[in-house]
Structure 1
Amino acid sequence: MRSGTSFFNSTLYRKTMLRFWPLWAAYGLMWLYLVPFNLLNSYFSMRGAQTSSVELANRLVEYARDIPNTLQFGTFAACGYGVLCAMAVFGYLYNNRSACMMHALPMRRETLFGTQYLAGLSFALLPNLVVAGITLAAELPLVPQKCWGTSLASLGIWLLALSGVNLFFFSFAAFCAMFTGHILALPAFYGILNMLAYVLYVLITGVMNDFFFGFSMRSGRGNTLTQILTPIWPLTEAVEWDPVQETVNGMTATTGEWYLLSPGTVAAYAAAGVVLAVLALLVYRQRQVESAGDVVSVRLVRPVFLYGVAFCSGLCFGVYTIAFFGWRNRLSLAVCVVVWAVVGYFVARMLLCKSFRVLKYWKGAAVSFVAMTVLCVACFTDVMGITAWVPQADEVVSVDVDCRINYPYDSGDSTRYQVTDPGQIEKIVALHQAVLDHRDTVDTSSSHYQGGEEYTRLDVTYTLTDGRTVRRCYYDIPIHMEDLNAEGTVTWALNQIAQNRDAVEDMYDFDRFEEYRLVEAYLDRAGTQSGQTETDTNEPFYLEGASNAQLKELWQAVRADFDAGTIGVRYLFDDQQRQENTYVTDLVFVFEVPSRNSVSDATESYSTDLRITLTPNAEHTLAWLTQYAGWGETVFPILHEVR
């Protein structure tokens, strides 16, 4: 018994395939050159170079195994090719005569859509299948029989992954095609929707960073939802072809096997492609033939288009305008956002009406004006309490903190470290609170901003007991010497951290360096004495005569002086106390770190160093230098003497 509803017409399918044969032929030819022709070219090149049969076989096996390495390129190609296929098979929707002719055929809409959709999908899947078949025919006689399993598995992974990516991007393009009646609007909508989540994330966080003092979101590609809604990135990562690795005796090595990084992600997006195809069919069933030529063909979506363009225009051009003119105050940002939102509304209305006479739609522009004004006022008044937020110390599990403690300029100056000790967390929270309590004088955009003798920064990422992570960043915070003993000030709170020896030890990160192998040490900017003349040189003085055991003794001497509080002392200001108690000479330890990326050579490594400024009170360290380095007559210049 015949079905009452047919979703496929073979005649229309063949006509569509033949009409657009240059499109799928060019796509197939591209992959022929990238995969089987490249394999054959490598074979004949190596054979012509008189390569041994064993080496030739091994090279061919490696090439066949690495075919999935082309998938990342294939993902970008599928993204662009998908919209071209959709423009080809659904192009009749964008011309009145073509639309009327096609819909006058004795076919149901389900049949028309299903046939064109399958034809467009065949533009990608059939060439993939042909390329895989030709590659298989080339591999079987060239690759040793014992390696067929590896090479054929790699070829199968390539075919399935690339076809899944093609399915998603074409379905997404077909879905976008149902909402427009203009051929040029389709690639525009497709490209915008592919990147919309990420662009909105960047714009919204950028505006919030300007509105809310200290607010900061994670950089890069945004949160998990943003990445999911920006498919090109997770798919590109998912098809990465990586070797299987295992760790033996602390070293990482490959096992000879390879795998696709996340086949589940590819399968999920392929399933999403099927869902998008079904949704596209549902929209197509309700689409009006007369909408051909309209920028937005579905009336229910037009308000979304109007106010979406207004919102995005306000954020995008508002941020760009203040950046272009160098305006830094929040009022300028708010005015630019509101003005550009209104402009964006009128531009969107022009596209819908296909006319410049759109001032009569001022009511819609007024809605955009009011909505953006309300949002800006809400940001000004901080109704959500974003700027004033400071956690309670008992709500914090850990803090990743970078609070610059200025002097001396050694490894302790780079103060990014993680804090889990409740006592240290309280000091960091107190510093955060002090910054907000004195916001008017430390915020560079404030009219009451006051410069200081020195400046610091505070970059904190809290991990809270409820699992959330919250980041706040404050840069160019002025500190004043007169506030050192004034409790509650930024300078006082920062000094509490500088005087906390546990916090300073974490800044130098001694424990991490002790896991590495100490290979050498030298003095940088060492002063020497010749007769009655004191000199300062930038040439490093290497402690070449010291054995490994003696270098370890020097390290222990530094640790002993640090524990005694005579070395590694931090200063907020370059004052007399700092100058009289700090040498210009730095002691630099060089460590060897095993390479985590080592494949076969366990000796691979790289070097890193720890720099610590010497002081006149570093008894154990200076004694070692005097005893073992021949520095009995050495003068380490004190800072104020050099100046």
Structure 2
Amino acid sequence: MRSKTSCFNGTLFRKNLSRYWPLWGLASFGGAMFPLAMLLELLHNGFRFWSPLETRQAYYTVLSYGVPVISIVYAILCAMAVWSYLYNARSVGMMHTLPIRREGLFVTNVLSGLTMMAIPYAVTGVLTVLVTMLFGGFEPVGVLMTVLGVMGESLFFFGLATFCAFIVGNVFMLPALYGLLNFIAVLTDFMVNLLAQGFCFGLNSSYSGTVEWLSPVVYLIQKISPNSTYETQWVTDRLGGQRYETSVLISVTLENGWLIAAYAAAGAALLGLAWLLYRRRRSESAGDVVAVGWMKPVFRYGCAAYSAILGGRLLYALLWDSFQSGRYFTVLPMILCMIAGGAIGYYAASMLLAKTPRVFKTTWKGMLAVALGCAALCGAMKYDLFGVTRRVPAPDSVKLVNVYAAGSNYYLTPGKDDALIEEVRTLHQTIIDDKDYILGYRSRTDYDFVADTASTEMAVEDSGAQSTISNIRITYMLNSGLKVERRYRLYLTSGRMAQKGTYDYLLDQLINSPEMRQKCIRWQEEGFQLDEAWLDTRYNGGDLSSREAGLILDAVAKDAENGDWGVYDWFRVDNDADSYEIQIHFQYRLSESQFNRTYDAIQVNVKEGMTETIRALKDLKLITDADLVTNRERYPWQYGKGGWDQYDQFYKQFNMSPEEYYDRYGEYPAGWFGTESGDSSTETEIDPAVDDSHSPSMSAGAEATGLGIIGGADGPTVTVTAAA
């Protein structure tokens, strides 16, 4: 009778499940706590029916943010359980002498691991469905999509863990390699940018996200999310009979859910590669750090590369940073530090592979290659052989341009803002061409580089001419989905600002153009949705309704058109002196195409001369004449020659602060703060040491974070989680 070849062994399958029951049993118990906690919370808060869409939204939220994190940890535990025999010589010898072919071992163990992954999810899912059914929230589409999503992500992470299991021969190396492969794109991106920003002029990004899809957990959490749509509806209170507006959930979809299917296919492919590795795997490789021969050089030189960049940067910071005169690396010390760091990684990997510390005589040629590689990489970045410093994207490759300058963000779209985009590209190219001038100035001053997006203005002397230092950021979102971002700390002078062709002149002409003043407001611009608006005054304030916000924005736009708002003076130190204590804040929700930011915000400081805005605020009864007191009138010591010494003298003489005195009497005593009468609006000498970082008349921050709630008489109340 001819024997049959089986690819599945039921006895081994049951043995795996019974042997490792604590693993999937404890996971199931932990998962069951979530629906139990949900049930207790619902009962505690009162019996309230859930709508099916609310249930779907909850399912998709867990699938988007919870399942990837849980699966990445649980998958490696299941893989370590079913493949543990590979890492012990006796165990692997015994398993390979059983009357089960390798095909049978592989398929049975894969199915065992996937089953152990599925059991906790099944227990948790069934209990959750029962709870939601109890409260009327059963939703079959959401359940089906969630089940498919969990299966797809489980397949991928277990496939990746299995692939790693056949590369290594040591059980401790399995989780290390698995963790590295899951985050290798993020780590590599960070390392490359960490090194490049020390050589490349204008590059200051620590992470670009170029190949983020190679880091599955990060990419899945970033890209997959529940997309909920709300509709404002009038409802009637059952008890009081009053009608009020509320936001009702009308649809929920899983944004970019197809990515799960793509990763599931990748997981199946990884299982296929793992089988190919298992077919050729030697039983004698049990205990080796790397079990695949051709992967050993990859391991050795990979460790050397990562150690050279991270270790080299650390050594440079410890040994040389305090000796360099500029912001950028000195080439020779950096090469030596990278060689030292690379040597540590190279020889550590060699010792692990050889299982002995006696590797120096046989591996010196490889170390020489590492040293030459470090020198070549530093030289290539120093002389910009990759074109990073010189890169200005072509107009047809860009789908959005963001400029941050003068304390505000400006968003430009091809097809609508082509002329402005070309001005930005010209400015960018001019800054690159003037690299030596900018770096030469900075090497002659004591100002440290500020690696943030805030506009930093400080008055400095330059042969009698007015001058300042300002940070700008230029970001291009490319059609490919990548972005090019550069940040520059520029030295501006009034003489160069009057000279055509200089970056000073081009920057001033761009930012102070009528078109860019309107761009700063972003009112009725495509891609922006006003989420929140509120008013701050000395005595009043609060949320603005959508009607009030619209009227105020129209008024600010008219002031901008008339030149009464938004004209930025680069050289004024006291540019908040003529501002009132009236601030209007607007928060905009951005579409995903705008650099994946959730929102952007602007702040309008009301100043003298903003007649349209002041008239609108008065008409809406949001301010009175009592609010129209400038900072120079209310806080004259901040702008006078005496400065804060006068403040202290005033307090000693009158036994109260100047603010308390002004609030009580409406003026200051004659002779104080540069005045002969009580009128504190008299001109006073400006103290040039006062440093103001932003123009109060227009300042914005795309990187602000927090929670926004927009409310008003004519609009619903919506809570928005802000994430930059």
TM-score class, shorter-chain normalisation, is 0.7 to 0.9
The residue identity in structure 2 corresponding to 1:365 is M
What is the match of residue 80 of structure 2? 87
Q: Deviations over 1:613-640 (max 9, x none)?
A: 325xx78889999999488999794775
How far the C-alpha of 1:266 sits from its partner, in A, is 2.2
Cα distance in structure 2, aligned partners of 1:125 and 1:632: 68
Q: Could you tell me the TM-score, scaled by structure 1's length?
A: 0.76
Structure 1, 427-436 or 413-422: larger mean CA deviation: 413-422
Residues 302, 502 of structure 1: CA spacing in aligned structure 2 closer, same or farther, 3 A cutoff?
A: same
> In the alignment, is the contact (CA less than 8 A) between 1:121 and 1:167 conserved in 2?
yes
Partner of residue 227 from structure 1, selected from 205, 212, 216: 212
Secondary structure, counterpart of 2:291 in structure 1: coil
Cα distance in structure 1, aligned partners of 2:229 and 2:534: 36
How far the C-alpha of 1:518 sits from its partner, in A, is 12
Q: Deviations over 1:387-414 (max 9, x none)?
A: 233467898776321233xxxxxxxx42
The residue identity in structure 1 corresponding to 2:11 is T
Structure 1, 14-23 or 255-264: larger mean CA deviation: 255-264
Question: Does residue 429 of structure 1 match 2:425?
Answer: yes
Q: Deviations over 1:526-570 (max 9, x none)?
A: xxxxxxxxxxxxx5799xxxxx99x969975x7666544455433
The residue identity in structure 2 corresponding to 1:380 is K
The residue identity in structure 2 corresponding to 1:79 is I
How far the C-alpha of 1:77 sits from its partner, in A, is 1.9
Partner of residue 200 from structure 1, selected from 165, 185, 188: 188
The residue identity in structure 1 corresponding to 2:339 is V
Residues 247, 302 of structure 1: CA spacing in aligned structure 2 closer, same or farther, 3 A cutoff?
A: farther
Gaps of 5+ in 1: 405-412, 525-538, 543-547, 598-605
How far the C-alpha of 1:301 sits from its partner, in A, is 0.8
Structure 1, 71-80 or 510-519: larger mean CA deviation: 510-519
What is the match of residue 112 of structure 1? 105
Question: Does residue 123 of structure 1 match 2:135?
Answer: no
Residues 381, 92 of structure 1: CA spacing in aligned structure 2 closer, same or farther, 3 A cutoff?
A: same
Structure 1, 393-402 or 162-171: larger mean CA deviation: 393-402
Partner of residue 164 from structure 2, selected from 145, 159, 176: 176
What is the match of residue 572 of structure 1? 570
How far the C-alpha of 1:587 sits from its partner, in A, is 7.6
Secondary structure, counterpart of 1:301 in structure 2: helix
What is the match of residue 30 of structure 1? 30
Cα distance in structure 1, aligned partners of 2:12 and 2:251: 46
Mapping for residues 183-262 of structure 1, pairs under 5 Å: 183-215=171-203, 219=207, 222-223=209-210, 226-236=211-221, 240=225, 243-245=228-230, 253-255=247-249, 258-262=252-256
Residues 30, 585 of structure 1: CA spacing in aligned structure 2 closer, same or farther, 3 A cutoff?
A: closer
Cα distance in structure 2, aligned partners of 1:611 and 1:213: 34
What is the match of residue 19 of structure 1? 19
How far the C-alpha of 1:289 sits from its partner, in A, is 0.6
Give the number of aligned pairs: 581
Q: Deviations over 1:553-601 (max 9, x none)?
A: 9975x766654445543322138xx98xx9523484647879999xxxx
Residues 474, 69 of structure 1: CA spacing in aligned structure 2 closer, same or farther, 3 A cutoff?
A: closer
> In the alignment, is the contact (CA less than 8 A) between 2:212 and 2:219 conserved in 1?
yes
Secondary structure, counterpart of 2:273 in structure 1: helix
What is the match of residue 266 of structure 1? 260
Mapping for residues 44-123 of structure 1, pairs under 5 Å: 45=43, 55=47, 66=58, 69-71=61-63, 72-123=65-116
Mapping for residues 207-606 of structure 1, pairs under 5 Å: 207-215=195-203, 219=207, 222-223=209-210, 226-236=211-221, 240=225, 243-245=228-230, 253-255=247-249, 258-323=252-317, 326=321, 328-330=327-329, 331=331, 332-360=333-361, 361-390=363-392, 399-404=401-406, 413-418=407-412, 421-443=417-439, 447=443, 453-462=467-476, 471-497=484-510, 500-509=513-522, 539=538, 556=555, 562-565=560-563, 568-574=566-572, 584-586=578-580, 588=582, 590=584
The residue identity in structure 2 corresponding to 1:492 is Y
How far the C-alpha of 1:66 sits from its partner, in A, is 4.0
Cα distance in structure 1, aligned partners of 2:566 and 2:311: 49
Residues 347, 247 of structure 1: CA spacing in aligned structure 2 closer, same or farther, 3 A cutoff?
A: farther
What is the match of residue 611 of structure 1? 605
> In the alignment, is the contact (CA less than 8 A) between 2:169 and 2:291 conserved in 1?
yes
Residues 423, 278 of structure 1: CA spacing in aligned structure 2 closer, same or farther, 3 A cutoff?
A: closer
The residue identity in structure 1 corresponding to 2:197 is N
> In the alignment, is the contact (CA less than 8 A) between 2:392 and 2:428 conserved in 1?
yes
Q: Deviations over 1:40-89 (max 9, x none)?
A: 6567x55xx9x6xxx36659997798456544333322211111111111
Cα distance in structure 1, aligned partners of 2:166 and 2:422: 57
Q: Percent identity?
A: 29
